[in-house]
Structure 1
Amino acid sequence: MRIFKTALVLTLVGLLCGAVIGLTNYITAPIIKKNAEKRASEAYKSLFSDLDSVVEHEVINSSVYAYIEVKKGNELIGYIFKAKGSNQRGLIDLVVAYDNSGNVKVKILETDHTATFYVDYVDSENNTLVGLNKKTLVLDNIAGVTQTGDLLRALLADVKIEAEKYIDFSEIPETPEEPEEPELDIYEQLFINKETVEEDTSFAATEKVTKKETVKDVNGYILGYVYTLHGTSTTPLHDYDESESNYITLLVGVDGDNKIVGVKVLDTNHTPKFVNYHNVYFESLIGVLVSEAPIDDVAGATVSRGIIRDLIDALKAVLQ
């Protein structure tokens, strides 16, 4: 009898919970749908400022779930393709717009991806994605945001397949390549009057301070020294970091009084955005004695901060 009562109570509780969930969904579903439609409508207006109406068509068997005819009066002025998909980091829902002049624009409607990652791809000012070839819809890879980039590329590939049914891609101009910036001499960034750099072969390298170089001007006068610092860590950089270790290599310029004249990142496999967090710290070291260099206390870049702290301590030990 007791078992029967327990089963009855559990059944009633289950039915009640189901009813509450159903009622909640009944109330919230229309609100969620309305908000989604509002976001989409605002996106359409931002992509086609002169649109009067849109006609939406459903697409099946693809991450592209709709294509939209955009009209000004009775004139067809472009298309919008809506695509969405998910991976380990969550949902991305985006739209790709083509107008009759061959312009291509991309806008993310909704995403679960961490903002600090997906914003690396977003060029909101121009309604596009960073590194996007507008003719092929091929997206460049940005280090440190691999999973977001992989999902964006998959969605864009599906959009391209669907868009080719309605759009002549031969009319779309190639995305112009960014002009390459001239390579800067990193030693000149540390010593502006640098003429020559010579390795000090008498220097006793340590595990982290691997090289010492002497910098001279055009007259052979010693301007200072550059130390190469190299550090590694086995701590993963992020949840999906499969590398066994990561590293940072610094060049530290020091004058004849052992005052720091500059710090530059020579090489690293850390995400550039997080490495750049340390630039303020590097600038604060200029003019400071190596022995009195403060610790790096930058927030938001724990792994690189730990490596940099160890490297500065290693340089202090060499110059003490």
Structure 2
Amino acid sequence: MMPTKVTIYEVGPRDGLQNEKGVISTEVKVEFIQRLVAAGLPVVEATSFVHPRWVPQLADAADVMTALGESGRGLPVLVPNERGLDRALELGLQHIAIFGSATETFAQKNLNRSLDEQFAMFEPTVTRARDAGLDVRAYVSMCFGDPWEGAVPIDQVVGVGKRLFDLGASQLSLGDTIGVGTAGHVKDLIGGFVAAGMRVDDLAMHFHDTYGQALANTFSALQEGITTYDASAGGLGGCPYAKSATGNLATEDLVWMLDGLGIETGVDLDAVVSTSVWMASHLGRPSPSAVVRALAQSPA
């Protein structure tokens, strides 16, 4: 019952770069995005309109989107609130994402809101976006575990996720922010959402590889019928508010596995590998992706 086709939602330019300490130029970010799009990735999340004080690396979000021009209008951007939405609307963008929390502590640390207060913050943002004809994606973080609260009950995650989705989102991405999820937990969480009335087509998975479980968790989600997976070129990324959150599932590792399963992605693996090697040269360190390391060292 595995899907025959999967959509990879590339988050490298936003989630992958947001934690980088060294300043990455606007020009490099723009080329990174353009290369990923050219590699056949169907969705590339370009940046975030978060306040520069919180994520300095993305302070040039408007400059990046302006430089991309018309080709950037269809790329999603993360917006934390109505001010971020205002910037997206000014640039004529068509897709936004909001980012909620499944736990009280992370909501306070990441959003400066309580678990319940976050919905009051997101509701006008989503309503205005939908009224303006924008598509809205909702992320919910800490779905499998929280570094301060520990294991997160499935019914709590389902309750938060469904409330976010019901604000008017077209898709809900379930985040294993600190990478503690396991294959059985993935199956149970998806089952919880389905039991609550959500379709698997409305769900996406966002895995981190902290414990080396991202591909195993993806395989489990495939068995449950999930067809959209967030990934980051080269395995870049983490979370600025959760120090134990290491890299995202690498796009190349995901494509390699899906190719082996005969599942269509439309992604040119060699082009993504080349892009990750190129980006690694700008970051001054090798890519953490196992497939990038293997293919980049393979004889021609």
Whether TM exceeds 0.5 here: the answer is no
TM-score by length of 2: 0.22
Higher strand share: 1
TM-score by length of 1: 0.21
Higher helix share: 2
Which gives a bigger RCO, structure 1 or 2 (Cα 8 Å, sep 6+)? 2
Instruction: Decide which structure has the larger Cα Rg and report it.
Output: 1
